[in-house]
Amino acid sequence: MSDLRTSQQIRVLEIDPVVAQAAADRALTLVDEAQPGSSARTVTGQWQRVVMVGIPVIFIACAVWRPLTTSIAFAWISTVTYLCVIAHRVSVFRASLDADPAIRISDEAARAYPDELLPTYTVLVPAFREPEVIRILVDAMKRLEYPRDRLEILLLLEEGDDETLAAATAIVTDLPIVVVVVPQGTPQTKPRALNYGFMQSNGDLVTIFDAEDQPEPLQLRRAAIAMSTLGPEWACLQARLEFYDADTNLLTKWFATEYLTWFTCFLPGLMAKGAPLPLGGTSNHFRREALDVVGAWDPYNVTEDADLGLRLERSGFRVGMIDSYTLEEANSDVVNWVKQRSRWQKGYLQTALVHLRRPRELRRQVGWKGLGHLVAFVLGTPVLALLNLLFWSMSVIWLVTGTDLIERMFPGTVFYLATGSWLIGNAVILYLGIVSLLVTRRSELLWSAFLTPLYWILMSIASLRATIQLMINPSYWEKTQHGLRPHEVADIDLRDGVDAEVGE
């Protein structure tokens, strides 16, 4: 089929204001319509609120009655929790090293597949106050090797974002890009925009790219071919995410190491174990029918990606990884990074609480192992950072003041167990990051990996901030500023794979 198109300015999709507002209102309710009680509109259930109030009250009462005994019990609980989360990380990591389960489609197979057999593909690109990256986005989309007559690119802009709208509509291109203006509404979140855009779209497959993303050119073809080979129970394939600006400063090097560990080891490890997979926020490729079944994205959840992956698995679908890459912009500013990470950590807490509201139903849908993986990985991620902050703070207090209170809290066995779990646990996580760099042949990042304990301090600060935000403003979407470093579309080295193998 021909890809010839006439170049023209990017146009704005014209929608009747009344129809648009009705669609925007419905974008807030899709999850509740499809899966009542699954939205983070209300984060906690009644029993969770009782527990969240009751535990602090009981702890304070016990601390007043038996302060030392209570402190020792708290030390034991914290230490055992820490050990369990670390052990789970190691188990998942090892599973990824035994066999990478990511589905592979070689370059040759991707290019040889007939265009006329490819499905229609919708690309949703949410952007907000990002005029500086729009032209880069268009250049990145031009590199996609997918027939233009089967491609639909919807640039989702918020009403009132005139600067980004002007930047977009000034571009002349032959790409099938249309601007969709999302009416104002509350909460103003990325998943709300995605739902609105999804309702205006027509593709059989749907994917998301952030405005600064640079997907490798064959990614859509690989995902489409894999989906045509796999059974209909496969709802989503997640591509790996990396950074094109990892060398900017020490923070971006740490960030890049974390992403490599996350998308090369942790998520494939969860897939290998058959565990529910919390998706990344971009480059996830969905069957349209699956999104219809689960109600698409939850506009009240600030990690809508992780939540959607879990809801798909709970609904009987399968979620996996595909061996393809998208390059993103690493956050190079500390304050901006803390804001972004606070939102992610808040979203993981939010997601865990929402899915644990009905634990019996969750266990019935994903089994005891799936329930354990969800608790250890999704809830464990922010909890691990908070426990690190606790242990580090107590260590500093003990070293600076020499108080015997800390020693009394950790008598005998609990002292050695807590000290060992903290030191060995941090060493293990450091080691996993180094192994990830060796596996992915990113030796240029090795020296910075040895300094990652400083990065974990930032994570702990972000987790504390996230916990506070969860209590006072759970659905607030803290905007991450992109375009901090001027750049052009990067040269992407494609990784050849082998044809996808179908199997349980």
pLDDT in tens, 400-456: 877 777 667 777 677 777 777 777 877 888 889 998 899 888 989 999 988 888 898
pLDDT of the residue at 279: 94
Work out the pLDDT band at 501, boundaries 50, 70, 90. Answer: very low
pLDDT at 249 over 70: yes
Helix, strand, coil percentages (3-state) for the chain, rounded to 5, are: 55, 10, 30
204 backbone φψ class: left, alpha, beta (φ>0; ψ -120 to 50): alpha
Would you say residue 308 has pLDDT above 90? yes
Strand partners, 179: 12, 155
Q: Residues 8-58: pLDDT tens digits?
A: 889 999 999 999 999 999 999 999 999 999 999 999 889 999 998 999 899
* Residues forming beta bridges with residue 8, ordered by sequence position: 173
Rounded Cα–Cα distance for residues 121 and 146 (Å)? 9
Question: Cis (ω within 30 of 0) for the bond into 187?
Answer: yes
Domains contained in the chain, CATH given = 1-495 (3.90.550.10)
Q: In this model, does residue 160 exceed pLDDT 60?
A: yes
C-alpha–C-alpha distance, residues 148 and 152, integer Å: 8
Q: Which amino acid is at 449?
A: A
* Res 427: pLDDT: 86
Average pLDDT over residues 332-342: 92
| Residue 145 C-beta-side C-alpha neighbours within 13 Å | 15
In this prediction, residue 504 carries a pLDDT of 35
pLDDT of residue 402: 72
Q: H or E stretch including 196?
A: helix 190-200
The mean per-residue pLDDT over the stretch 215-242 comes to: 96
3-class state of residue 99 by DSSP: coil
Q: What is the pLDDT of residue 498?
A: 36
CB 272 within 8 A of CB 314: no
DSSP of 148-193: GGGEEEEEEEETT-HHHHHHHHT-EESS-EEEEEEPP-SS--HHHH
Structure tokens at 205: 């497959």
| pLDDT > 80? residue 488 | no
Residues 6+ apart with CB under 8 A from 135: 167, 171
Task: State the pLDDT at residue 396.
Answer: 80
Q: What type of residue sits at position 87?
A: A
Q: Residues 368-385: what's their mean pLDDT?
A: 93
pLDDT digits (tens, 9 = 90+) for 95-150: 998 888 999 999 999 999 999 999 999 999 999 999 989 999 999 999 999 999 99
- Report the pLDDT averaged over residues 370-385: 93
Query: Which among 297, 8, 12 has a CA at the least distance from the CA of 182?
Result: 12
pLDDT bucket at 481, cuts 50 / 70 / 90: low
Q: CA-to-CA distance for 267 and 160, rounded, in angstroms?
A: 37
Contact 236, 286 (CB under 8 A): yes
**Enclosing H/E stretch for 129:** none
Residue range 463-477, pLDDT digits in tens: 999 999 998 888 888
In the prediction, which pLDDT does 487 show? Answer: 54
CB neighbours (10 Å) of residue 450? 10
**What's residue 394's pLDDT?**
77
Q: Can you tell me whether residue 479 is helix, strand or coil?
A: coil
pLDDT at residue 475 in the model? 83
Judging by DSSP bridges, how do beta strands 205-208 and 284-287 pair with one another? antiparallel
CA distance 286 to 265: 22
The pLDDT assigned to 408 comes to: 74
Expressed in angstroms, the distance from the first to the final Cα of the chain is: 35
Mean pLDDT of the chain, nearest integer: 89
- At residue 490 the predicted structure's pLDDT band, cuts being 50, 70 and 90, is low
% of the chain with per-residue pLDDT over 90: 67
Confidence of residue 485 (pLDDT cuts 50, 70, 90): low
- Residue 496 binned pLDDT confidence (cut-offs 50, 70, 90): very low
Sheet architecture: strand order including 205-208: 11-12, 177-182, 151-158, 121-127, 205-208, 284-287, 234-243, 318-328, 214-215
Kindly write down the DSSP assignment for every residue of 299-343, as one continuous string: TT-TTHHHHHHHHHHHTT-EEEEEEEEEEE-----HHHHHHHHHH
Dihedral sign, Cα of residue 227, residue 231, residue 235, residue 238: negative
Main-chain dihedrals φ then ψ at residue 239, nearest 5 degrees: -80, 160
Distance separating alpha carbons of residues 406 and 423, to the nearest angstrom = 17
Could you give the CA distance from residue 221 to residue 110 in angstroms, rounded to a whole number? 6
CB 131 within 8 A of CB 162: no
User: How confident is the model at residue 93, as a pLDDT?
Assistant: 92
